[in-house]
Structure 1
Amino acid sequence: MKKNVLIIGAGGVAQVVAHKCAQNNDILGDLHIASRTASKCDDIIASVDEKKSMKVPGTFKSHAVDAMDTKAVADLIRKTGAEIVINVGTPYVNMSVLDACIETGTAYMDTAIHEEPDKICETPPWYANYEWKKREACEKAGVTAILGVGFDPGVVNAYARLAEDQYLDKMTSIDIVDINAGSHGKYFATNFDPEINFREFTGTVYSWQNGKWKENRMFEVGREWDLPVVGKQKAYMSGHDEVHSLANRYKDADVRFWMGFGDHYINVFTVLKSIGLLSEQPVTTAEGLEVVPLKVVKAVLPDPASLAPGYSGKTCIGDLVKGTKDGKETEVFIYNVADHKEAYEEVGSQGISYTAGVPPVAAAILIAKGDWDVKKMANVEDLDPKPFINLLNRIGLPTRVKDAKGDRAVDFG
């Protein structure tokens, strides 16, 4: 049984991970959190102490580390005795942290695909550009590496696998829908790292349709969705991590990702992009200063973690999967609804961070217990979804299914 967890990162998602690890430290053992700025880690530990999240008395220590330095991360893993690393830092550090885990024989997980700071990595299949190149090394070292185990990617991948295993004989389409029907009260803000948020939407929108990659522009394809709890919402087809791995497994199904956007967000985004402020390439000011426009925009926008206290409303994220069952056409919507206020009251974070931060802790528990300690690299759809969904039900993200039989909770006992 694996024990002792090292969390990489100190943002809003890391705060959720820290609280949830603390709530399950009877299983996960000693806890450590590291980022470039140790004081941010100290603040998160203070939040854990304030909420009295530790289930049993135990260790929770902070550390400073440059997560882009593989040797430094490997040294920290050895120093802490961590057997599980939960990487919720910027996607720029994925490969260096993964390499450190392979070197030290430590289980690894992340919540987003790797990116390089100086380019928009938008050419399918994204995982094959970086992470999947380490499959052989993981298997040779006996290292469990679970990729993209946030909510989307992550839980939605498990929902697709659940539809395959439980509800359909043949899948013809998987539409992942992500709606945030909440309000943070700010003029303009992003729900997670603005730099990563904008990078997702400045490149080509890729979807998998009719057995090949289809290209669209951002906000080119939109439709209204009528969803449980949040009602009718407009969402636009967007490029997203899980499309690239699901398309690899479900080659005969169309795979698309849809995200909800209000008109105000689209207007501000369009202006910023049109005048070059979302570029990741450096420019030189009249004063001779070299700056990256995207990083300047990030610096002036609210920190996503600061949105939590006043956030209200709910999220609805799920998979609408169509296909056939017993020779008849059918569809099933597998989903979760989360509440921003409830998330803040429990862990001090808003609902977007909560939905991203709970799943990697569930995965860590499954690795610790052996259920998901597969000793190789895997995306979430490669793994049995039942223990994952059961655990998520218990620790804060309950799953429901809506089909011809009605709308009901999903629980495998």
Structure 2
Amino acid sequence: MAKVIIIGAGGVGAVVAHKCAQVESVFTDILLASRTEDKCKAIAAQIERPIRTARVDADNVAELTALLQAEQPDLVINVALPYQDLSIMDACLNAGVDYLDTANYEPLDTAKFEYKWQWAYQDKFAAAGLTALLGSGFDPGATNVFTTYLAKHYFDEVEELDIIDVNGGDHGYPFATNFNPEINIREVSAECRHWENGEFVTTPPMSKMARFECPEAVGSYNIYRMYHEELESLSKHFPTLRRAQFWMSFGDSYLKHLEVLENVGMTGIEPVEFQGQQIVPIQFLAKLLPDPSTLGPRTKGRTCIGCIVRGKKDGRERVMYLYNICDHEACYREVQSQAISYTTGVPAMIGAKMLLEGHWKRPGVWNMEQCDPDPFMEDMNRYGLPWTVVELDPGFRLDVHKGQDL
């Protein structure tokens, strides 16, 4: 039915390749491309169905354009680094190819998670008759769709949103990140922003904490308020939202290591001179930490990611909780990857399927919550991320405490 090029051969790229290969009726031709083709070949060797590989520098627009023009794919699935989003979008425009990613663009020299650079491509993609789907991972991605699904089926008006991301997995390391270390640490150490009464309010990172009891015996965890990019698009597309917050769980060991690393300057993004060379501390740190793609065999436990929405239905206050629980060891058995990569890679495949099947195909640049949630939610159940929706007592509130400023 369709040819796709997957750009990026990290943990998420591996999951996307595995999951696309499982849906042969849609993804009839798969090319996995990366700056290091050997990584692509290693992933391809894990997959029973043949997929092709190629080397490409995603920072080089001309090189990537040439590959797209030669291959003429129906869609590019971008699971490379967020720094490369714009160069890949430019190449897609040059070659006339639809585009999908899992995380918004971030400038290399500024820790800013914003959609403004990609939203600026709206007219270009619309004029070219091409679709760009932004943030088709889990958060952002599935959480955006969860919010839209709840708004469509359970509310007349949504007023408050809490996105809660709990990783109950244990990989055995005192400090490691479950996805790209540089992106993870920049994200976690950035100032917190949450939406309240029509504007973003800035607070120190990790300065608010709550204790959250996950359903289905996943456990009780400390969750910390932080900024995440889906808040920007959701607050724009749901104008009735009075408050929107993002929460993520962190263990004491992770936070202590991060605090020390920040205090000694190892999370810095500005170059420093060392022995006559310019190095970026956080990039050097990333080289010292375990490769996230190697964590699969070691990681046990489950994730619990979902959305709590408060609003009104027929004039009555209502609180709904929609969530997914994912098992690290089950993910590894299926695709040789831990659940963090799995929960990002599966929605990327489903978002691609939505475009290729025509459900979400329309010219322009779109966030996930702007699309019909129902077919995506059906495929979440079908392809490995089953979800549950429950109604909470209207009196439910997160028990928020002071956290620890980083």
Q: TM-score, normalised by structure 1?
A: 0.93
- The count of corresponding residues between Structure 1 and Structure 2 is 391
Alpha-carbon contact 2:174-2:253 (below 8 Å) kept: no
Q: How does 1:234-383 map to 2 (within 5 A)?
A: 234-253=222-241, 254-285=243-274, 287-383=275-371
Alpha-carbon contact 1:210-1:252 (below 8 Å) kept: no
Q: What's 1:80 paired with? A: 71
The alpha-carbon deviation at position 251 of structure 1 amounts to 2.8
For 2:95 and 2:57, how far apart are their aligned partners in 1? 17
Letter in 2 for 1:344: Y
Unaligned runs of 5+ in 2: 394-406
Q: Can you list the C-alpha shifts for 1:284-339, whole angstroms capped at 9, x where unaligned?
A: 12x22221100111000000011100111000000000011111111000110000
Letter in 2 for 1:361: M
Q: How does 1:21-170 map to 2 (within 5 A)?
A: 21-48=20-47, 52=48, 54=49, 60-122=51-113, 126-128=114-116, 130-170=117-157
State the 4+ residue runs in structure 1 displaced beyond 3 angstroms. Answer: none
For 2:174 and 2:254, how far apart are their aligned partners in 1? 10
Q: What's 2:177 paired with? A: 190
For 2:174 and 2:268, how far apart are their aligned partners in 1? 22
Alpha-carbon contact 1:366-1:388 (below 8 Å) kept: yes
The alpha-carbon deviation at position 404 of structure 1 amounts to 5.0
For 2:129 and 2:244, how far apart are their aligned partners in 1? 31
SS of the residue corresponding to residue 272 of structure 1 reads helix
SS of the residue corresponding to residue 188 of structure 1 reads coil
Q: What's 1:408 paired with? A: none
Letter in 1 for 2:189: T
Q: 1:181 aligns with which of 168, 179, 189?
A: 168
The alpha-carbon deviation at position 199 of structure 1 amounts to 0.7
Alpha-carbon contact 2:98-2:132 (below 8 Å) kept: yes
Q: Can you list the C-alpha shifts for 1:97-148, whole angstroms capped at 9, x where unaligned?
A: 11111222211100001011112115xxx111x1000001011011111000
Alpha-carbon contact 2:72-2:97 (below 8 Å) kept: no
The alpha-carbon deviation at position 403 of structure 1 amounts to 0.7
Q: How does 1:212-227 map to 2 (within 5 A)?
A: 212-227=199-214
For 2:380 and 2:388, how far apart are their aligned partners in 1? 12
RMSD of aligned C-alpha atoms? 1.2
Q: 1:394 aligns with which of 382, 390, 394?
A: 382
For 2:64 and 2:54, how far apart are their aligned partners in 1? 11
Q: TM-score, normalised by structure 2?
A: 0.94
Unaligned runs of 5+ in 1: 406-413
Alpha-carbon contact 1:235-1:261 (below 8 Å) kept: yes
